[in-house]
Amino acid sequence: MAAKESSDIKSSRRRFLLTSAVSATLPVVGLAAGCAAPGGLRPDDPVPPVAIASLPPSAVLPLTLRVNGSEHRVQLDARTTLLDALREALRLAGSKKGCDHGQCGACTVLIDGERVLACLTLAAQAQGRAVTTIEGLATMRGTTVGDALHPMQQAFIDNDAFQCGYCTPGQIMSAVACVTEGRTANDTEIREYMSGNLCRCAAYPNIVAAIRQAAPQMKGAR
Amino acid sequence: MKPFAYTAAADVPSAVNAALRSAPPRQDGVDDGALTLAPVQFLGGGTTLIDLMKLDVMRPTTLVDISRLDEPGLRSVQMSAEGLRIGALATMRQVADDAAVRRYYPVLSQSLWLAASQQIRNMAFVGGNVLQRTRCSYFRDTSWPCNKREPGSGCSALEGVNRWHAVLGTSEQCIASYPGDWATALVALDATVETVGPGGLRRFRFAELHRLPGSTPHIETQLQPGELITSFNVPAGPYTRRSLYLKVRDRASYEFALASAAVALQMDGATVREVRIGLGGPVAVPWRAREAEALLTGKVLNEASATEAARAAFAGARTREHNAFRVPLSQQTLVRALLQAQTMEMAA
């Protein structure tokens, strides 16, 4: 009963987040997705008179993004980062926006299997390449369709490897890559190769423990 | 972020042409060498450029995406008897992990994996890496005067918080430090750069790529508009195997250098036959410590001779209110790097 309630709460929170993201995005679709970027508008700022007509000719780009095995055709302002495209155009809000300047790692995703920062990657640069986000991880192993967690996701739960959870999607994506890169020989190496993912709650010891747990399991799955 | 036109280049010549075609004639009287203010920028990994565009520090009107160029040699690391040839579009991680680089040019590998994070090393190309911009907080914040960002507006760092600023190579117009590690190793090993630009192919010493700030700190390199770095060549030498990069920082990883030293040694017993020294951290441009090299060559290497060399390396240091500590820190870093390189064991 308690479990059911909590899952209802979770799903309604998710629905709420997605709905508000969509309603916030709708007025600017096809206009300037870059407006959503930080360094951009604050609530009280006057809206600059930027319309498609005044932008350079190729400022709105038709792109095909391949995310978690699905293709998405989108029209995006050239300024749109992969992170904003994922979160706002494709409604995949799992990748998080922390600093938006490449300093925190919260936006870490895989492109063609390698970890990168989605906040410093233009959506146009990801065109046609395989993007994997936290939402695509559970099925990445080629297991039966469903909600079977990736060993790294399970290891983060088992080891209590987060408190607030905001950095967690980035931590997990980075951790998966850390294992596939073979950088888990010891705790020092794990820490060095996870240093691009900051955790303000300082769950670091548990994150290291989670990676230690998942690493051999991932080898088995491959 | 200001709107821009986006073009993905198919090959090097079309990238160069696209950059030239999109560049309007200069009307602001700014020196043509001010590539950093140019309206057209090449987009590689984007780890500097997109960051600075979000901050409104860089405001290109056209981006020419070179990240998918795939001409022969552009992404490869090749070793021969003459040395290394490293394509400008090899990633930081690729070069850091390259088996030949790690074994025969360890200083190059270390300068890369001790920099940034694995995510950034996957994105950033070694060609773009040498062109990364200063981390000066006044440069990065458009509400402050900055001669590098807005020529003639003044330098806020001179009397400001200048802990992160340079002591070597500065001027009264700019004390920003060059933040890179890879360039420090390249300058130590006498690398050369190959570029393709409007004038065709060009090859010059890496030490000549960056320009001292002087009275024109907005001109950071000698590259011309439309000129693209295509490769680095690092000559072989008997000293490259006994080489290392020592980086001292506020935290153990994912941080810029407070002080760093790239050293390469050829020993004859306890005597230095040949030594190469690059300095990073409080330097305006990638720094070669030739005075220190001259003092050490032919001498017995020990703490005393290394300390004397380190003193000479910073004889011309000009410190400010918050960065004086970086002189002794840098000197000690260099001494430790030299003594550590001396004890390196060479595998067969």
* DSSP code per residue over B258-273: SEEEEEEEEEETTEEE
Q: Which two tokens stand for residue A220?
A: 């088995």
Percent of chain A with pLDDT over 90: 67
Q: Where are the beta strands (DSSP E) in chain B?
A: 5-8, 40-43, 62-65, 77-80, 83-87, 192-197, 200-205, 228-235, 243-248, 259-268, 271-280, 287-288
CATH of the domain at B259: 3.30.390.50
CATH of the domain at B20: 3.30.43
Q: Is residue B99 part of a domain?
A: no
Give the residue range(s) of CATH 3.10.20.30 domains in chain A: 15-43+50-136
A34 interfaces chain B, CB cutoff of 8 Å: yes
pLDDT, residue B249, reads 98
Which residues in chain A are closer than 8 Å to B252, comparing Cβ atoms? Answer: 191-192, 195
Q: Is the dihedral of CA B249, B255, B260, B264 positive or negative?
A: positive
Give the residue range(s) of CATH 1.10.150.120 domains in chain A: 151-221
Averaged pLDDT for residues B230-254: 98
pLDDT, residue A191, reads 98
Per the CB < 8 Å rule, is A116 touching B1?
A: no
pLDDT, residue A57, reads 53
Q: Sheet containing B271-280: which strands, arranged edge to edge?
A: B243-248, B259-268, B271-280, B287-288
Per the CB < 8 Å rule, is B1 touching A37?
A: yes
Which residues in chain B are closer than 8 Å to A196, comparing Cβ atoms? Answer: 116-120, 254
Average pLDDT, chain A: 80
| Higher local confidence (pLDDT), A220 or A5 | A220
For residue A117, pLDDT over 50 is answered with: yes
Per the CB < 8 Å rule, is A56 touching B46?
A: no
Q: Which two tokens stand for residue A222?
A: 């491959």
**In this structure, which amino acid lies at residue B6?**
Y
Nearest CA to B188 among B277, B293, B292, B108? B277
| pLDDT tens per residue across span A122-164 | 999 999 999 999 999 986 555 555 578 999 999 999 999 999 9
For residue B83, pLDDT over 80 is answered with: yes
Which residues in chain A are closer than 8 Å to B118, comparing Cβ atoms? Answer: 115, 174, 177-178, 181, 183, 193, 196
Which residues in chain B are closer than 8 Å to A101, comparing Cβ atoms? Answer: 51, 54-55
Fold of A15-43+50-136: Ubiquitin-like (UB roll) (3.10.20)
Q: Is residue B223 part of a domain?
A: no
Per the CB < 8 Å rule, is B54 touching A124?
A: no
| pLDDT tens per residue across span B146-188 | 999 999 999 999 999 999 999 999 999 999 999 999 999 999 9
State which of B65, B80, B111 marks the end of a domain.
Answer: B65
**In this structure, which amino acid lies at residue B233?**
N
Q: Is residue B265 part of a domain?
A: yes
Domain range for B53 is: 5-65
What's the rounded Cα separation, in Å, for the pair B313 and B309? 6
Please check whether residue A103 is in contact with residue A64, taking contact to mean a CB–CB distance below 8 angstroms: no
pLDDT, residue A36, reads 38
Which residues in chain A are closer than 8 Å to B120, comparing Cβ atoms? Answer: 102, 117, 196
Q: Which residue of A39, A58, A183 is in closest CB contact with B1?
A: A39
Which residues in chain A are closer than 8 Å to B43, comparing Cβ atoms? Answer: 122, 125
Which secondary-structure segment (H or E) carries A75? strand A70-77
Fold of A151-221: DNA polymerase; domain 1 (1.10.150)
| pLDDT tens per residue across span A9-23 | 444 445 544 444 444
A182 interfaces chain B, CB cutoff of 8 Å: no
pLDDT, residue A17, reads 46
Q: Is residue B319 part of a domain?
A: yes
Residue of chain B whose alpha carbon sits nearest to that of A193: B118
Q: Report the gap between the CA of B163 and the closest CA in chain A (Å).
A: 20
Which residues in chain B are closer than 8 Å to A124, comparing Cβ atoms? Answer: 6, 8, 65
Q: Which residue of B5, B47, B65 is in closest CB contact with A102?
A: B47
Cα-based angle B307, B296, B342 (whole degrees, multiple of 5): 80
Q: Which residue of B3, B51, B119 is in closest CB contact with A116?
A: B119
What's the rounded Cα separation, in Å, for the pair B273 and B242? 12
